[in-house]
Chain A
């Protein structure tokens, strides 16, 4: 991720180049197309927000793209009364409960693979297995996962969502983290050893601080995926008590399909936490999204 910023100044040079007339024309074209694309991206967002404040009785009368004539919060009240606080808590439990252990054990595995991978055939095989795992789609193994969860008597619990989520976070996390741990100078490890530090101590006092950006990246990447996950909750839970937000959204839409403003409010409300995080930590979030693809 760090390497991306190194080319920065040159882009300005390029724009202020000799070919001024022609490039200005193209810039103009690119500029207007970019606003057109902005329209395509933002129209659904705008629509869902304004619709969420409309009254159901007005919805079919007013122009769909006009702001509400009489704004109301009643849709939000309906959504909140439909137990969305509980679904929110469930989503938080699942996301934190899966991401923290996933990142921790991936970090440990990545550390072991980098530290002793050359010596240990076991670690090399483990690493190859994780790399192969990048190609296993969750969808394709959902039936056996369902069977395993039933046999473990965990069907319809949040743990049923958490365990497979951890497993499927591991391959990419190990890949990204081991790329970063590899960059830590060998001399630092050596001097830690000279000072008598254990491997566990070295992991926490040397590797952890030096790979913190990668850890944040991996946490965000996995967190977003699990927060928005739909398939695991759909298949591994059943009762309303165990619902996470994406599933609740779908269920709510099934129940109140005709009440478009209420459905819109549910979409806005479930998306809000992520949008707030985006506003706070945009850079981290974006670099997290391409974890492992642009290093």
Chain B
């Protein structure tokens, strides 16, 4: 083998891969490609196809043209569901972004007590949505929950029984779960800001608050866009948390698209209309991701996710 790789090769291909060799590695990408095609790409096309069929989830799949689309689009509930989805998306963005940013900046320091706090702050990241939803459901009990525990009547409300409060609870629990993750992203972002910027600002006599506004924030621009994209697009996929916490209730006050899809498909056995909702979900996600990327002045890079 060794004798085959004669010295002249070094002269022939100094900089790039030689053409003939790509065949020897190409096969290595095949297993991943096949798995991904079978369980992600085919289903993505499949969901579009299924939206033009009628299927009860058990029997045969029957083509039925636009029936499902008509049924879903004529349903006044759809607008409500989309509204709730965007409401929860918007509120959780407004709630999470400033807090994650501040906590991230705070945790970027290397003081001992901050490192200690960080260990505890990040605990929610480890818990399953199921565990979190079950915990909060019990903790928010009006009679035996946190209100009674702290002796604060204002915390002893029927949190999950009132439409407006339930939306607030979902936003809060989502934030409780995901702020640690976004803080972690911001912490990384802050630690990458060149220290020379702060030194220059100090020489110019800028205070801490001023430094935050004119150095930290602008420098974190791409981190903010990354984090916001993940928050906004991620919020379309809130399912398990809301499913366990409120099941979309009271009435349909917290019924988001993903939950609506599940209920239509797997509870009411209407897979056609559920697929229509799924298609809407995919399109919404794509549009939002593209808009946010445009806002970030799209570098034309492969993925915004890379640019933290």
B46's partner among A147, A193, A228, A293 (CB-CB below 8 A) is A147
Q: Is B145 an interface residue (CB 8 A)?
A: yes
Mark contacts of A111-143 with chain B using CB atoms, 8 A cut-off: 1 yes-contact digit, 0 otherwise: 111011011101100101111011111111111
A143–B134 CB distance below 8 A: no
A143's partner among B124, B125, B137, B275 (CB-CB below 8 A) is B275
Q: Is A38 an interface residue (CB 8 A)?
A: yes
Q: Is A158 an interface residue (CB 8 A)?
A: no
Q: Is B189 an interface residue (CB 8 A)?
A: yes
> Interface stretch among A13-21, A68-76, A78-86, A211-219?
A13-21
A167's partner among B17, B36, B134, B306 (CB-CB below 8 A) is B36
- Give every chain B residue within 8 A of A270 (Cβ-Cβ): 128, 131
Q: Is B213 an interface residue (CB 8 A)?
A: no
Name, among A48, A139, A145, the residue most crowded by chain B CB atoms within 10 Å (CB to CB).
Answer: A139
B50's partner among A48, A139, A144, A194 (CB-CB below 8 A) is A144
A293–B131 CB distance below 8 A: no
- Give every chain A residue within 8 A of B239 (Cβ-Cβ): 139, 230-231
* With known contacts A26-B208, A64-B145, A17–B202 Cβ distance under 8 A: yes
A126–B29 CB distance below 8 A: yes
A40–B148 CB distance below 8 A: no
- Give every chain B residue within 8 A of A224 (Cβ-Cβ): 126
CA distance in complex: A253, B240 (Å) = 14
A164–B39 CB distance below 8 A: yes
* With known contacts A22-B207, A196-B5, A224-B126, A135–B302 Cβ distance under 8 A: no
Q: Is A146 an interface residue (CB 8 A)?
A: yes
Mark contacts of A1-24 with chain B using CB atoms, 8 A cut-off: 1 yes-contact digit, 0 otherwise: 001110111111111011100110
A235–B266 CB distance below 8 A: yes
B29–A108 CB distance below 8 A: yes
Q: Is A237 an interface residue (CB 8 A)?
A: no
B306's partner among A4, A8, A175, A275 (CB-CB below 8 A) is A175
CA distance in complex: A14, B27 (Å) = 52
Q: Is A179 an interface residue (CB 8 A)?
A: yes
- Give every chain B residue within 8 A of A126 (Cβ-Cβ): 29, 32-33
- Give every chain A residue within 8 A of B33 (Cβ-Cβ): 109, 126, 129
Q: Is B150 an interface residue (CB 8 A)?
A: yes
CA distance in complex: A64, B142 (Å) = 12
CA distance in complex: A10, B44 (Å) = 48
Please tell me the size bucket of the interface on A.
Answer: 35 or more
CA distance in complex: A4, B192 (Å) = 6
- Give every chain A residue within 8 A of B27 (Cβ-Cβ): 112
- Give every chain A residue within 8 A of B123 (Cβ-Cβ): 41-42, 45, 275, 278
> Interface stretch among B69-77, B85-93, B101-109, B159-167?
B101-109
A166–B39 CB distance below 8 A: yes
- Give every chain B residue within 8 A of A278 (Cβ-Cβ): 123, 126
CA distance in complex: A195, B135 (Å) = 59
Q: Is B28 an interface residue (CB 8 A)?
A: yes
Q: Is B94 an interface residue (CB 8 A)?
A: no
Mark contacts of A276-289 with chain B using CB atoms, 8 A cut-off: 1 yes-contact digit, 0 otherwise: 00100010011001
Shortest CB–CB separation between residue A235 and chain B, in angstroms? 6
A136–B134 CB distance below 8 A: no
B195–A10 CB distance below 8 A: yes
A246–B131 CB distance below 8 A: yes
B285–A37 CB distance below 8 A: no
Mark contacts of A238-265 with chain B using CB atoms, 8 A cut-off: 1 yes-contact digit, 0 otherwise: 0000000111011001000000100110
- Give every chain B residue within 8 A of A17 (Cβ-Cβ): 202
CA distance in complex: A264, B136 (Å) = 11
> In the complex, which residue of chain A has the Cβ closest to the Cβ of B22?
A116
B148–A63 CB distance below 8 A: yes
Shortest CB–CB separation between residue B206 and chain A, in angstroms? 8
Shortest CB–CB separation between residue B142 and chain A, in angstroms? 12
Q: Is A99 an interface residue (CB 8 A)?
A: no
Shortest CB–CB separation between residue B216 and chain A, in angstroms? 11
- Give every chain A residue within 8 A of B145 (Cβ-Cβ): 64
Which chain B residues (198-237) contact chain A, with CB distance < 8 Å?
198-199, 202, 207-209, 226, 230, 233, 236-237
A246–B144 CB distance below 8 A: no
A228's partner among B24, B44, B129, B209 (CB-CB below 8 A) is B129
B208–A19 CB distance below 8 A: yes
> In the complex, which residue of chain A has the Cβ closest to the Cβ of B197?
A10
- Give every chain A residue within 8 A of B31 (Cβ-Cβ): 105, 108-109
A267–B135 CB distance below 8 A: yes
B194's partner among A7, A19, A260 (CB-CB below 8 A) is A7
A18–B17 CB distance below 8 A: no
CA distance in complex: A128, B121 (Å) = 36
Which chain A residues (143-202) contact chain B, with CB distance < 8 Å?
143-148, 163-164, 166-168, 170-171, 174-175, 179, 190, 193-196, 198-199
Q: Is B295 an interface residue (CB 8 A)?
A: no
- Give every chain A residue within 8 A of B209 (Cβ-Cβ): 22, 26
* With known contacts A143-B47, A230-B129, A293-B305, A111–B28 Cβ distance under 8 A: yes
9 pairs of residues in contact across A and B, judged by CB atoms under 8 Å: A14-B198, A41-B180, A42-B123, A65-B150, A105-B35, A120-B22, A135-B289, A194-B10, A195-B5
A-B pairs, top 3 by smallest CB distance, nearest first, are A10-B195, A144-B46, A167-B39
